[in-house]
Amino acid sequence: MVMSEFTYVFAFGTMFALLEAFNNGANDVANAWATSVSSRSVTYRQAMILCLVFEMTGALAVGARTASTIKNGIIPIAAFNGNAGVQLLAFACASAGAAIWVMWCTRNSAHVSSTYSLVSSIAGVGVAAVGAHNVEWGWSGGSGLGAIFAGLCMAPCISGLFGAAIFMLIKMVVHVRKDPLKWAVFTSPGFFLIAGTICTLSIVYKGSPNLGLDKRPAWFIASVTLGVGFGLFILSGLFFVPYVHCKVVKKDYTLKLWDIWQGPALFTREPPSDASEARVPNYAVIQHAGDDDQDIGELTAPGKEQTKDPEAIEKSPSGSDTDVPAEKSKPATKSLAQLEDAVAGGNPQAQYRLLLKRAEAKHHAELREKRGPLGWAMRVLHNHPMGAGSIYELHNLKALCMRLPAYVVIAFLYGLYYDIHRAQVGILGTPEGRRMDRVYSHATKYQNEVEYLYSFVQIITACTASFAHGANDVGNAVGVWAGMYGAWRTGETVASKEEVPLWQIAVMALTICTGFITYGYNIMKVMGNKLTYHSPSRGSSMEMGAAITILIFSQYKLPVSTSMCITGATVGVGLCNGTFKAVNWQRVGLLFFSWVMTIPIAGLIGGGLMGLALNTPGY
């Protein structure tokens, strides 16, 4: 029986559940894809498409049809004493607490784990609803809060060790050789074997109940995993090795991707006589092409622009009509930039804000030159600025009406044109820009031809991670919403495991993808190259290290955050440069601080809302 008297609670709970899913995509998923985008293995737009395809496919095709309504049984279902209304309210407040905190963090470019935010919010709700003594604070077989928060330190450290081990293998086998290109070409099947085995294991071993994989014996899992891995090994040896040998060793620039099907015949293919260099992408983080400002978004600090020497001012010939006494000459007209510099003066904070404003203005000026809808929207905002006075002034109300359609277009399309690499490098003249320059100076840059081979490996690992996230983690995200729907629809308290309708999984997966596509850039700009120097060989090692860690934690039924694993692997690979200076420790410290603060803040928001709702005085 539908609890119609509590429909408004379900409506608000649904709103916050979808908001939490949106921010999950904009925060967690963006961090997962930041490695591939930062390494230039895929562009941001390609990552959007791949995320949409693999996230949705994983969720709908092989995703679980049951989900934990209360993550890891933090609150015993019996503690609700059969009161479905209170349980519905608890689910709604838990979603609200997680959504509000993750939304604030995403808006301020602070990465947090959506899973940890939801767990913390549920714990706070549990204290308010059923009392602290009914909340599972201990280890509880790996499902209590103690086990969950232990992963806060364990997962990044273990992931960092695995990521570093894989990259050191690549470094010793390939990068330090006298002829690293040939070593990279002929050892690539081995790395495809490693990547294929790990990626297959991450899908099959965790088990998809929809395909019955969770009931398969160990020999079946081992057979499928090794079969896929060695199958990829053989195929790469037959087709990939001849293709890249022709492309990067022979430097055949006429070779097309579909020529890969020629297989070993490509070894006998003659390259053009004028083939001098391999045509592969430039994987350098900072790319100079004559105009530094245009390439990496660097601007000169205010007050440091080159000015003309007063002694070098051209003077008219003596006695001419244009000879004017100095005391009667008019003061030179200053440009807007000079006036801004004068206002900023010796105030470092004002200079910093001015640098950021100029960088943003330059980016928006480039967007106004675009032909599509975004270019039109940016021109509308530029041509109809808000005037003096408050928002309710008539001229401002008219401008706002003109700007509203443009705001909608920008909200959906701004991320498509956002330059992640330029944002990660920072702006010259700011403390962050100087810090990133120091970090990059300690990282060894390898040949683009060598890095090109590992970009294929990284595409496999990135797509598999997205598929696995859709197959396993979307079910976790939808669990609370499914609990709300079940309690509201039946009028009875739901069990710890609840059937999830397919339409709820589809809506949740689509909302997560929408969050990544429209707002993921706000997190990606502070991840990836903002932590350490990225390249395809490094990026593929990071993703494989994170995947191995997730597999191990799953084996022992320990909760783990994918985002924390990829961050730990990033730091581990960065340290393989041989110095602590190759890692941006300030950004790492901010990340860890945001992870720790998630626990009390999300818990207080969720618990506070639940406490207010349950104990609101009335007549």
Cα–Cα distance measured from residue 8 to residue 93, given in angstroms and rounded to the nearest whole number: 13
Q: Which DSSP string corresponds to 71-99?
A: GGGSS-GGGGTT-HHHHHHHHHHHHHHHH
Task: Give me 353's structure tokens.
Answer: 């804000």
More confident residue, 235 or 219: 235
At 125-181, the pLDDT tens digits run 888 887 877 777 776 665 667 777 777 788 899 999 999 999 999 999 988 888 888
CB atoms within 10 A of CB 226: 16
Reference 539, options 35, 9, 13, 2; nearest CA is 35
Rounded to an integer, the average pLDDT of 211-231 is 81
* pLDDT value at 401 more than 80: yes
Q: What integer pLDDT is reported at residue 58 of this predicted model? A: 79
- pLDDT at residue 448, as a whole number: 87
Q: With helix as H, strand as E and coil as C, how does 148-198 read?
A: HHHHHHHHHHHHHHHHHHHHHHHHHHHHCCCCHHHHHHHHHHHHHHHHHHH
The residue count of the chain comes to 619
Q: What is the pLDDT of residues 248-275, one digit of tens each?
A: 888 888 888 888 888 888 888 888 888 7
Point out the least confidently predicted range of 196-205, 344-353, 471-480, 569-578. Answer: 344-353
> Over 60: is that where the pLDDT of 618 sits?
yes
Whether the CB-CB separation of 158 and 549 falls below 8 Å is answered with yes
pLDDT band, residue 214 (cuts 50/70/90): low
Q: Terminal CA-to-CA distance of the chain, rounded, Å?
A: 28
What number is the average pLDDT over the span 405-413?
Answer: 90
Distance CA 24, CA 421 (A): 22
Residue with tokens 């103690």, as numbered in its chain? 146
- CB-neighbour burial class of residue 304 (10 A; exposed 0-12, middle 13-18, buried 19+): exposed
Q: Is the pLDDT of residue 226 over 60?
A: yes
Residue 409 clears pLDDT 70, i.e. is over it: yes
Q: How far apart are CA 544 and CA 562, in angstroms?
A: 12
Rounded to an integer, the average pLDDT of 540-553 is 85
CA distances 296 to 44, 303, 378, 426, 528, Å, are 16, 21, 21, 8, 16
The residues, ordered by sequence, that sit 6+ positions from 22 with a Cβ below 8 Å of its Cβ are: 511, 512, 514, 515, 519
Q: Identify which has the larger pLDDT, 606 or 129.
A: 606
The pLDDT value given to residue 361 = 81
Q: What are phi and psi of 384, to 5 degrees?
A: -130, 65
Q: Are the beta carbons of 113 and 561 closer than 8 angstroms?
A: yes
Task: Judge contact between 581 and 61, C-beta under 8 A.
Answer: no
Q: Are 191 and 457 in contact (CB under 8 A)?
A: yes
Identify any residues that bridge with 66 across adjacent strands, giving them in sequence order.
Answer: 499
Residue 578 burial (CB < 10 Å; 0-12/13-18/19+)? exposed
Q: Residue 95: pLDDT above 50?
A: yes
Alpha-carbon distance of 243 to 263, in angstroms, equals 7
CA angle, residues 346, 347, 351, in degrees to nearest 5: 100
Nearest-Å Rg of the Cα atoms of the chain is: 28
- Give the Cα separation of 613 and 192 in Å (integer): 54
Give the range among 134-148, 458-472, 476-490, 604-618 with minimum mean pLDDT.
134-148
pLDDT mean over 89-115: 90
Pairing of strands 66-68, 497-499: antiparallel
Spatial separation of the C-alpha atoms in residues 592 and 564, rounded to whole Å: 9
> Tell me, what DSSP letter sits at residue 58?
H
Lowest mean pLDDT among 163-177, 490-504, 505-519, 528-542: 490-504
Of 57-66, 489-498, 565-574, highest mean pLDDT? 565-574
Confidence of residue 422 (pLDDT cuts 50, 70, 90): confident
pLDDT for residue 497: 67
